[in-house]
């Protein structure tokens, strides 16, 4: 089972769709990540090799804000807007 950014990706989905289960990654960003890591988007998550999972994990951790960090950033932005009365 592939676990990236603290999220277990669904095993029977294509990796292109499976990455969208991570908060902050949509379909276009998923395609961008797969192109950067040279992973075939039609591969099923259960068929990914350990090297592919490591490449995806490294790319996401180095270049993108996802999951907890992104949620925290959005919450702080909303809180700031509420404090200044523009939300």
Q: In Å, how far are 40, 41, 73 from 31, measured between CA atoms?
A: 10, 7, 24
The listed CATH number (3.30.360.10, 1.20.1250.20, 1.10.8.50, 2.60.40.1120) that belongs to domain 3-83 = 1.10.8.50
How far is it, in rounded angstroms, from Cα 19 to Cα 59? 12
Structure confidence at residue 87 as a pLDDT band (50, 70, 90): confident
7: enclosing H helix or E strand: strand 7-8
Could you read off the pLDDT of 2-38 as tens digits, one per residue? 889 899 999 999 999 999 999 999 999 999 999 999 9
* Domain segments of the chain as ranges: 3-83
pLDDT at 1 over 80: no
Cβ atoms within 10 A of the Cβ of 58, count? Answer: 12
Query: What pLDDT is recorded for position 2?
Result: 84
**Cα 30 to chain center, whole Å?**
7
Query: Tokens standing for 18?
Result: 């499976």
């Amino acid at each position: 089972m592939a676990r990236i950014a603290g999220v277990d990706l669904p095993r029977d989905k294509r990796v292109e769709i499976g990455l969208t289960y991570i908060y902050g990654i949509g379909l276009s960003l998923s395609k961008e990540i797969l192109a950067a890591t040279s992973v075939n988007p039609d591969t099923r998550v259960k068929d990914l090799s350990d090297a592919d999972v490591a490449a995806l994990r490294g790319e996401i951790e180095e270049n993108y804000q996802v999951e907890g960090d992104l949620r925290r950033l959005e919450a702080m932005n909303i809180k700031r807007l509420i404090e200044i009365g523009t939300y």
